[in-house]
Structure 1
């Protein structure tokens, strides 16, 4: 990429999955703004094109490249991560923001439904992390930021499959944080809740949803759900040297929804 910026991420090489929309896009743009060289990866090419246009408008487009990837497909992940690390000349930070949210009564959840959510959210996080680890470990100070959710620790009705994957991601993050701590790697989770993104705007709730069960998901502060940039700011802190003493844990970002 050649061009590096100033700021907390000046000279840092970053891969952000889910960079074509929502929190992934907001994170890619924030880390570009703070000087990083970023590869945004997503399954949706039109979304990546929009991210690139926004970066160009902000004057940071020279430090952004994009790559398409299906994180549930091993060959696709291997190719995309290889392309990203080769283009960047290494990797300092991985942000696993890609994921899907679908809802269903658990008694009506098909195996196909369950397997798809697991494949994208949990297995996808594993695959991208596994492929990125050699490059991250080579720096001696690599950082992995994974995406859990408040649903991993607090009851979110109709989202049993989604919640299970997010709980799994938390456990996965704890394990790699310990396993690679002596090699300089930090691994952390963000656990967003009450965030306004494409995923939360249409979670596919059942037609007979009991909205009384969902009432507790209202933030305690602010005016309704927060924007994706709220999470992006927290990720910027965690992935920078300001978060140097934070690993093997998760940061809940939900406006006090689950105090």
Structure 2
């Protein structure tokens, strides 16, 4: 899809993308908007802990969501920005109340946020474990819970949660991240069972190696002594059977499919170039 392509697949629908300010989340916002949805891009400028790939509590998610909304609105798309820390229960409630008071309906929720941090288990602090798990899993629960009444009132809809290849396979030095992302897959499958008869579908996407800020951080942690960054990237690329990294747009295309697929629920689908193939 080019920057000028527009579709009507989601015309008349409202989508909320939590974590929509940057990276894959921003690509999801743009893809849904270009397919006719009215989109709320929610993100935060402050995280509760520095145990993350930004190495700071100060981030720019909400600021970038505002910039994205302005850019897409200038092209005629219905995109607005909202501020939320997905791990803050009151903030998540306010976010969904804003959707109820504003657009007044909800058809698709995408929980596209996540943080990672590198540490071997033997040196990992309990606080680090808890913050990384919370940063990836608590918000999926809170956002999904608050979404259900609005989706039900709209006659059904789609929840898409972000897991990872680390939710399908274990990787050294990110055990807390793997635990959380495996948890997202389990939560997704269980919730799908609960709400299937209400025409609410719940699925997970499992991105592979996408060259966003998170993977830039991981590269800096996993580069070997004497190895250049380019050599490290090539070593990473060799882990992918297709020998190509995925793009934010690759993941966004799957989210678009899941937003509209009426008979797909309870699935965790990888977009990873074959990394987690059986």
State the TM-score, normalizing by the size of structure 2.
0.83
Query: Per the alignment, do residues 58 and 101 of structure 1 end up closer, same or farther by CA in structure 2, a change over 3 Å counting?
Result: farther
Query: Per the alignment, do residues 225 and 6 of structure 1 end up closer, same or farther by CA in structure 2, a change over 3 Å counting?
Result: closer
- 2:152 aligns with one of 106, 129, 137: 137
* Pair 1:219-2:240 in alignment: yes
* Pair 1:231-2:251 in alignment: yes
- 1:160 aligns with one of 175, 184, 194: 175
Partner of 1:14: 15
**In 2, Cα distance between equivalents of 1:246 and 1:24:** 21
- TM-aligned CA deviation for residue 218 of structure 1: 2.7
**In 2, Cα distance between equivalents of 1:147 and 1:253:** 11
- 2:271 aligns with one of 241, 253, 256: 253
**In 2, Cα distance between equivalents of 1:183 and 1:85:** 19
- TM-aligned CA deviation for residue 22 of structure 1: 0.7
- TM-aligned CA deviation for residue 232 of structure 1: 0.2
Partner of 2:41: 40
Structure 2 gaps of 5+ residues are 1-5, 45-60, 226-231
Aligned length: 249
User: After alignment, is 22-31 or 150-159 more displaced?
Assistant: 150-159
* 1:46-77 deviations in Å (ceiling 9; x for gaps): 111221233135432xx111100011111111
- TM-aligned CA deviation for residue 217 of structure 1: 6.7
- TM-aligned CA deviation for residue 209 of structure 1: 6.4
Partner of 1:52: 69
* Pair 1:93-2:108 in alignment: yes
What is the DSSP-based 3-state SS (H/G/I as helix, E as strand, rest coil) of the residue aligned with 2:241? Answer: coil
Query: Per the alignment, do residues 138 and 174 of structure 1 end up closer, same or farther by CA in structure 2, a change over 3 Å counting?
Result: same
Query: Per the alignment, do residues 86 and 202 of structure 1 end up closer, same or farther by CA in structure 2, a change over 3 Å counting?
Result: same
Query: Per the alignment, do residues 129 and 108 of structure 1 end up closer, same or farther by CA in structure 2, a change over 3 Å counting?
Result: same
- Given that 1:104 and 1:206 are in contact with CA atoms closer than 8 Å, whether structure 2 keeps it comes out as no
**In 2, Cα distance between equivalents of 1:69 and 1:118:** 18
Partner of 2:200: 185
What is the DSSP-based 3-state SS (H/G/I as helix, E as strand, rest coil) of the residue aligned with 2:178? Answer: helix
Runs of 4+ in 1 over 6 A off after TM superposition: 207-211
**In 1, Cα distance between equivalents of 2:214 and 2:28:** 16
**In 2, Cα distance between equivalents of 1:217 and 1:165:** 26
Partner of 1:31: 32
State the TM-score, normalizing by the size of structure 1.
0.89
Q: CA RMSD in A?
A: 2.2
What is the DSSP-based 3-state SS (H/G/I as helix, E as strand, rest coil) of the residue aligned with 2:87? Answer: coil
User: After alignment, is 16-25 or 201-210 more displaced?
Assistant: 201-210
- Given that 1:158 and 1:205 are in contact with CA atoms closer than 8 Å, whether structure 2 keeps it comes out as no
* Pair 1:116-2:131 in alignment: yes
- TM-aligned CA deviation for residue 235 of structure 1: 0.6
What is the DSSP-based 3-state SS (H/G/I as helix, E as strand, rest coil) of the residue aligned with 1:15? Answer: strand
**In 2, Cα distance between equivalents of 1:250 and 1:45:** 28
